[in-house]
């Protein structure tokens, strides 16, 4: 499948640091795309660890579609500056 639209991406999807994908999805009227975990990624990790691979993959597919829609509808913001931490 193709969008027939070129999108250059080098930034953050969130409008502000810490914005959840669920909030962006609601604000932009983006569908849930059958996400079995309704934007709660932690549940996906648990499902994967418990061998529920179909649910985990359905969540990841839904996330990619939601992220595509966010980029199309509002673009992206410049990424936060990286801060390197010294190991102790």
- The string of pLDDT tens digits covering residues 10-45 is 667 788 878 888 999 999 999 999 999 999 989 999
**3 found inside a domain:** no
Which phi and psi angles does 32 have, rounded to 5°? -80, -15
**68 found inside a domain:** yes
Q: Are 19 and 29 in contact (CB under 8 A)?
A: no
**59 found inside a domain:** yes
Q: Are 47 and 55 in contact (CB under 8 A)?
A: yes
Q: What is the pTM of this model?
A: 0.71
pLDDT of residue 55: 97
**69 found inside a domain:** yes
Structural domain count, the chain: 1
**25 found inside a domain:** yes
Which phi and psi angles does 11 have, rounded to 5°? -170, -160
> For 70-83, what is each residue's pLDDT tens digit?
988 887 777 667 67
Q: Which residue range is the domain that position 70 belongs to?
A: 21-74
Q: Give dist(CA 61, CA 65) in Å, integer.
A: 6
**87 found inside a domain:** no
Bridge partners of residue 12, in order along the sequence: 77
């Amino acid at each position: 499948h193709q969008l027939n639209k070129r999108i250059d991406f080098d930034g953050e999807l969130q409008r502000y640091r810490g914005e959840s994908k669920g909030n962006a999805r609601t604000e932009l009227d983006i569908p849930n795309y059958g996400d079995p975990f309704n934007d709660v990624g932690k549940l996906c990790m648990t499902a994967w660890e418990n061998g529920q691979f179909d649910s985990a993959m359905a969540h990841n597919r839904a996330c990619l579609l939601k992220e595509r829609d966010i980029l199309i509808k509002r673009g992206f913001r410049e990424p936060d500056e990286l801060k390197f931490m010294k190991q102790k």
